[in-house]
A and B are shown apart, each in its own frame.
Chain A
Amino acid sequence: MTHRMEDLWNRLQSSHTIDDVQSVVEHLRDAFDLTHVVYHVVGGSGREYGAVTYDADWVQHYKEEEYFRIDPVVGEALRRFLPMDWKSLDWSGKPARELFHKAVDQGIGRQGLSVPIRGVGGQFALFSVTGDDGDDGWQSFMRESSGDLMLASNYVHQRVTEIMNEEDTVIAAPLSPRERDVLSLLASGRSRAEASDYLKISEHTFRVYVDAARHKLGALNTTHAVAKALANGLILP
């Protein structure tokens, strides 16, 4: 867990309004040395929300021209779940090419990566980052950062979902007895190896259970998950 991921998570935890999230997204852009960061969610109920670092004029122009109808980032991402390099999208149509060139002129960036997020209740979100590297530089950035960016997109998504208080949020899902077991053992100071040994499960299985609990608690990492479970009385000290 890198410092910038921890910092991102802390900033999100102290965000209580959509405006707060906007400044977190701006911070994320700087921390990852990106050109832009865009987060957009359409809730199961159809409610929409976005946090973008794009220039306001570009956002307005994009909406007025209804570019979302021809933008391959939107068109493809709606149906995908793998993180997508924008270069792998189909820009061959003339409207799409024109959009691309206009976007580059507006300083959106020549490279992009989008992480689609599917929710269980039909909720859908798209988290995109853009940059101005050459192809090789962008390739290695993606290789190094796609795990972090998938987590980052999820932290932002979880926090916004909490703030929007969507009904289909899964954050409130209760922990199973097994998840409470793994967190309790960690809380008692046992190492992962000792705890998995005690439960007679492999370390990998243990890690997966901890990660499932971490996700449900909206926690950054194992330590945070244990602290959050203790603070909420889900496990006993």
Chain B
Amino acid sequence: MIRFLYADQLNTAPLLAETMFRDRAVQFRDRLEWDVTVDENGFETDDYDAINPLYVIWEGDDGRHKGSMRVLPTLGRTMVNDHFTHLTDGVTIMSALIWECTRFCISPDAQDDGKRIAGGVMLAGHELGLRFGLLSSVGVFDARMRRIYRSIGWEPEVIGEAGEGKNRICAGLWPFSEEIRAAIAEAAGLDEDLGRQWFDASFPAHQTVLPLAA
């Protein structure tokens, strides 16, 4: 299942957090060969993990990370605006209705289930977009990920690319719509309504009138 957790809530799920940061090291340093920072614990982190982003994480039955991404509002600091405006036609993309999604990662542990898990993470991202009436999500990603996004049914519109071969990176925009949500759910073999259920489970509503005595 998917869990929505802010960075300062990761201490409530230490195994999940540790396996996520280790899987990120495997994906970004080892597999994609990005120039990222990995600490002595084997955790891949950057400056944006320090400003309390929201993580969308698929937690396996064993409590370990299977796939995830990181979400930040573009009104605050973002990777794309701080470092990649040469990929956005020079446009600093800031809006209350646009959020940044980065560090989309699938665990090597996901194995044959990778497509379903990737689709689940995207379905959860879509839930944020539709629930809060967002216009778009923006992100910077490795060009080799385009194929993955396409297979999930949510291909970003690439607005800029730079670098050659394995160094090629893209900036892209992901629109939100009911139709796209249905396509993602179908490609992943998941129920469309799961995004809503995961969100409500992560942010459960308590009783309106709370008993004073307890």
Contact = CB atoms under 8 A, between A and B. Distances in A.
Interface of A: 79-85, 87-88, 91-92, 94, 97-98, 100-101, 104, 110-111, 117-120, 134-135, 143, 146-148, 150-151, 153-154, 170, 173, 176-179, 201-202, 204-205, 207-209, 211-212, 214-216
Nearest to B52: A79
B210 A100 contact: yes
Interface of B: 6, 8, 52, 54, 72-73, 75-77, 85, 89-98, 128, 131-136, 138, 157, 159, 173, 175, 203-212, 214
Contact of A208 (B6, B52, B98, B203): B98
A181 to B, nearest CB: 9
Contacts of B8: 79
Contacts of A81: 54, 72-73, 76
B133 A146 contact: yes
Given A146-B132, A153-B96, A215-B95, A88 B76 contact: no
A87 B98 CA distance: 25
A64 B117 CA distance: 50
A216 to B, nearest CB: 7
B126 to A, nearest CB: 15
A98 B212 contact: yes
A120 B173 contact: no
B172 to A, nearest CB: 9
A119 B78 CA distance: 11
Given A82-B132, A211-B95, A211-B98, A110 B208 contact: yes
B201 to A, nearest CB: 11
Contacts of B85: 176
Contact of B94 (A84, A146, A215): A215
Contacts of B132: 82-83, 146-147, 150
A109 to B, nearest CB: 11
A209 B96 contact: no
Nearest to A146: B132
Given A88-B204, A150-B132, A205-B173, A97 B98 contact: no
A49 B150 CA distance: 47
Given A97-B212, A204-B136, A204-B175, A212 B76 contact: no
7 contacts: A88-B203, A97-B210, A177-B89, A202-B157, A208-B93, A212-B98, A214-B95
A80 B6 contact: yes
B204 A176 contact: no
> 7 tightest A-B contacts by CB?
A147-B133, A118-B76, A178-B89, A176-B90, A87-B205, A154-B96, A88-B203
Nearest to A153: B96
B209 to A, nearest CB: 7
A134 B208 CA distance: 8
Nearest to A154: B96
A75 to B, nearest CB: 11
B202 to A, nearest CB: 9
Given A81-B73, A88-B205, A151-B97, A173 B92 contact: yes
B206 A87 contact: yes
Nearest to B206: A87
Contacts of A207: 135-136
Contacts of A111: 208
B75 A212 contact: no
A205 B204 CA distance: 35
A212 B157 contact: no
B84 to A, nearest CB: 13
Contacts of B128: 82
B205 A216 contact: no
A5 B70 CA distance: 31
A146 B131 CA distance: 8
Given A81-B73, A120-B76, A215-B95, A135 B157 contact: no
